[in-house]
A and B are shown apart, each in its own frame.
Chain A
Amino acid sequence: MQLTLWTYEGPPHIGAMRIATAMRGLHYVLHAPQGDTYADLLFTMIERRDARPPVTYTTFQARDLGADTAAIFQNAVAEAYERFRPEAMIVGASCTAELIQDDPGGLARALDLPIPVIPLELPAYQKKENWGASETFYRLVRALAGGDRALRTERRPICNILGPTALGFRHRDDLIEITRIIAALGIDVNVVAPLGAAPADLGRLGAADFNVVLYPEIARAAALHLQKTFGQPMVETVPIGVRATIRFVEEVAALAGVDPAPVLAGAPSRLPWYSRSVDSTYLTDKRVFIFGDATHALAAARIAAAELGFRVVGLGTYTREFAREVRAEAALHGIEATITDDYLDVEAAIQAAQPDLVLGTQMERHIAKRMGLPCAVISAPIHVQDFPARHSPQMGFEGANVIFDTWVHPLMMGLEEHLLGMFREDAEFHGGAAPSHLPRHGVDPAPVVVEAPAAQAEPILLTWATDAEKELKKIPFFVRGKARANTERFARERALPLITVETLYDAKAHFGR
């Protein structure tokens, strides 16, 4: 039993949903009680998807437990097939259904549907979301992969891109960047999966010369299977940061037998010059704490140290599967890695490291906010604001540009920092002040000053009754200023010298929101 305030990863069936939702023509029947349907909102609210995930939940209840939950599951599979007519289905159980041991795989098989039905065994009490995504993708690839490679002499090189999912941190934009690079190298893309792929597309995976693995947490297992089955080598270098992108381009070019030089020519990313420009000298040795999934945490550590000149004072991940790699990277920075999925441990590590900047997940964003530290988000778990409307990749040369901007923006600018050092007692520039280009948080905004209309000869002196003042404090701070101004305007217009609780609500009713 583990005491958890916040969890970095959902249960493994959420990982399966990320695969199913990323794909087309695939349906997931999940044996689960009604509360598990909350998962829909991850996709429809946080990622702003315009359709429900292709998931049918059985939503069994307590009264069904004594009866026949297996029949409920079988009905759900049959009805989902009839309604959605998918090309393939995945079936499985969430944590509660795992305990009642109904065998979703066997029950679905017994229906003898005319499509592939792939059972998922996702042990909810051992494993987590990314493992669930990886396992689901692997099972799908294992069940459906096929296809033949045409003779190399008669065509351009061709590859698969594996890993992007629904609800992934910037997967949408990373894919655009990487596809652009691969096209510029003169390489064709056979299949992108799971994002946008149909089950039939997985049937063509074997036609590629090699695989590009963008997110090892999700696609490595499937790529290993393809390597074994189809003899396809894989590129595992994650192209986040300038140097990693260059290495990625070189490796892809080598596998495809093409020349990387045209793609690397000139200055494909602005990051190197921005980092070398004298304005950036104040970034030198900024203490940075990094936590996230292994892919993004490792990349962030390398970029921070070698591409921005920061000092990495903390590095960690919640992805235990990649703990070894993260420990090795931490050792290069002379520190001990924080390998944990306990939010409180991370909070303690940040406190101990005393960083100038935190690069983390939405959890670290909140830790940083509480500690008054600048922060940028580099990894899932993420929230709605981490799905920006603009193109905002992490990968490729444009990704490096985005990273430079995103990480530098929360910091106080160089000259401002100097001024702070010189005039410590200044009302505006002092130790507790936020960078002047950022909004302040949690400060009661000054009430809006209401000018009395010109026609009014003598302004009325308004007094707030104590209970009205108290009532006003119950209004959230961000609308309190407006409420005060409206109430005073209301009172002034009616020549009411004393503002009572009644006046407050009369004004509220009058103005609406």
Chain B
Amino acid sequence: MNAHAPLPSLGTGCDIRQERGQRAVFCGLTGIVWLHRKIQDAFFLVVGSRTCAHLIQSAAGVMIFAEPRFATAILDERDLAGLVDANEELDRVVRRLIERRPDIRLLFLVGSCPSEVIKLDLPRAAQRLSRSFHPEVRVLSYSGSGIETTFTQGEDACLASLVPEMPRAAEGAPPSLLVVGALADVVEDQFARLFSELGIADVAFLPARRAGALPAVGANTRMLLAQPFLAETARVLEARGATRIAAPFPLGAEGTTGWLEAAAEAFGVRPDHFARVTAPGRARAAVALDLYRERLAAKRVFFFPDSQLELPLARFLSREMGAELIEVGTPYLHRQHHAPELALLPAGTQVVEGQNLDAQMDRCRAARPDLTICGLGLANPLEAEGLATKWSIELLFTPIQGYDQAGDLAELFARPLKRRARLEV
């Protein structure tokens, strides 16, 4: 279980290896926690076990108790024993849900480990239900199961399920920009303003805030990934004719500039105009980052694998804040999408794809990093051992992309260190 396979390092200078064994990560169902807020008229129905329901409510905590737009259809013995047709049961549950919540316009049936293992055909169920609720409610399906997806891959699967629903862009239409990946609304608005000032007129975001507002896609579409975990979504968008713009991810000032610049180049924006439009943002980010640089410079940082955001975050901490990277774990490394990030990471950076939990914890303890970025389950135990931690799920719940959030991103990492320095007990 502990086989380390050295990989060709793509000429990046990073030392990339793979690890297998026990993992400590969320499954793809967790993505529902932010997606159900992003798409405002969508509802997520997990078809799974009591464990699935318990996972989501535990991961979500209590902050979204108010009016959840997700639920679980819990499989019981009768569904497994075939005493009742699971499909009929599912139809009954969906009917009850839609009666209760007539505001639902888009319903996702979300597959889980048990539904995958018993081979419940959710794509077919979705088609059937879509027909019967047409035109009020569209029903789609994707899998958030832990045997297939890790944490943020749930968002990837969800967005990929939207792609076939996107309208076809007219042949010969002028090039349009599609920004892919859920972003906080405020960040999305900032980026929209920047693109407009750059002169890129036709810009759309996936997912859209409302189910009915899906952008068109076609050969004219240039897609820019806002998140590093969208392998499948990018693949199906490419299959519909979209071309990916290779770019680093918009984390930190440098990442944001690189990301915007890649789009600007693809749309023929003149460099001097680009420099003019981005100057205020770059200047603000520089001011904001200065506040935290002293706190983070030369700090030794260890990343446990979690969200696939690890590489761009490590690049930000290392290049913009002067931190030193001990190990950068990632659950999965998409070589192409991450190529610009790998190129920016310092030579010799230890990148570990996959996980063998106990061995990794041993390495972390031995290295005694100044800051460890890890999942919720590991944070307090490591703190109790005297290591400062930043729990990584917060990086998914906080607006961190773009110039005006670069300072917030640095602050997230600086806060545990500041707190340690502050406390005298």
Contacts and interface: CB of A to CB of B under 8 A. Distances in A.
A401 to B, nearest CB: 27
Given A7-B53, A35-B29, A94-B51, A366 B62 contact: yes
- Give the interface size bracket for B toward A: 35 or more
Interface stretch (A54-62, A140-148, A220-228): A54-62
B148 interface: yes
A2 B23 contact: no
A34 interface: yes
Contacts of B66: 366, 370
B161 to A, nearest CB: 18
Interface stretch (A182-190, A281-289, A303-311, A502-510): A502-510
A509 B22 contact: no
Contacts of A1: 47, 73-76, 79, 86, 89-90, 92-93
Interface stretch (B214-222, B319-327, B377-385): B377-385
Contact of B114 (A79, A96, A383): A96
Nearest to B117: A99
B74 A4 contact: yes
Interface string B370-406: 0000011111110110000000000000000000100
A451 B13 CA distance: 55
Contacts, number: 219
A370 B65 CA distance: 9
A155 B73 CA distance: 57
B97 interface: yes
Interface stretch (A38-46, A110-118, A204-212, A429-437): A38-46
A36 interface: yes
A45 B117 contact: no
Given A1-B89, A502-B280, A59 B23 contact: yes
Nearest to B100: A344
Given A11-B54, A59-B22, A366-B62, A45 B379 contact: yes
Nearest to A511: B291
B51 A10 contact: yes
A7 B50 contact: yes
B150 to A, nearest CB: 7
A199 B102 CA distance: 54
Contacts of A426: none
Contact of B65 (A39, A56, A366, A471): A366
Nearest to B59: A38
Contact of A509 (B61, B145, B285): B285
A20 interface: no
Interface stretch (A120-128, A266-274, A491-499): A120-128
A48 interface: yes
Nearest to A58: B22
Interface string A1-17: 11111110111011000
Given A100-B117, A471-B186, A2 B62 contact: no
A508 B288 contact: yes
A65 B73 contact: no
A51 B97 CA distance: 40
A99 B55 contact: no
Contacts of A369: 65
B378 A44 contact: yes
Interface in A76-121: 76, 79, 83, 94-96, 99-100
A395 B49 CA distance: 34
Contacts of A501: 193
B73 A3 contact: yes
Nearest to A53: B377
Contacts of A35: 25-30, 51-52, 55, 113, 145-146
A48 B51 CA distance: 21
Interface string B83-100: 000100110110011000
A49 interface: yes
A79 B90 CA distance: 41
A40 B411 contact: no
A45 B376 contact: yes
B202 interface: no
B114 A99 contact: yes
B381 A50 contact: yes
Contacts of B47: 1
B103 interface: no
Interface string B310-326: 00000000000000000
Contacts of B421: none
Contacts of B77: 123, 125-126
Contacts of B404: 505, 508-509
A33 B55 contact: no
Contact of B25 (A34, A96, A509): A34
Interface string B113-156: 11011100000000000000000000000000111101000000
A3 B98 CA distance: 12
Contact of A95 (B30, B50, B284, B383): B50
A75 interface: yes
B265 interface: no
Contacts of A229: none
Interface of B: 1, 22-30, 47, 49-55, 57-59, 61-62, 65-66, 68, 71-77, 79-80, 86, 89-90, 92-93, 96-97, 113-114, 116-118, 145-148, 150, 185-186, 189, 193, 280, 284-285, 287-288, 291-292, 358, 375-381, 383-384, 404, 407-408, 411
Given A11-B54, A44-B377, 18 more contacts: A2-B76, A6-B53, A11-B51, A35-B30, A35-B145, A40-B376, A41-B376, A42-B58, A49-B380, A50-B384, A65-B117, A76-B22, A125-B80, A126-B77, A369-B65, A475-B186, A505-B404, A513-B411
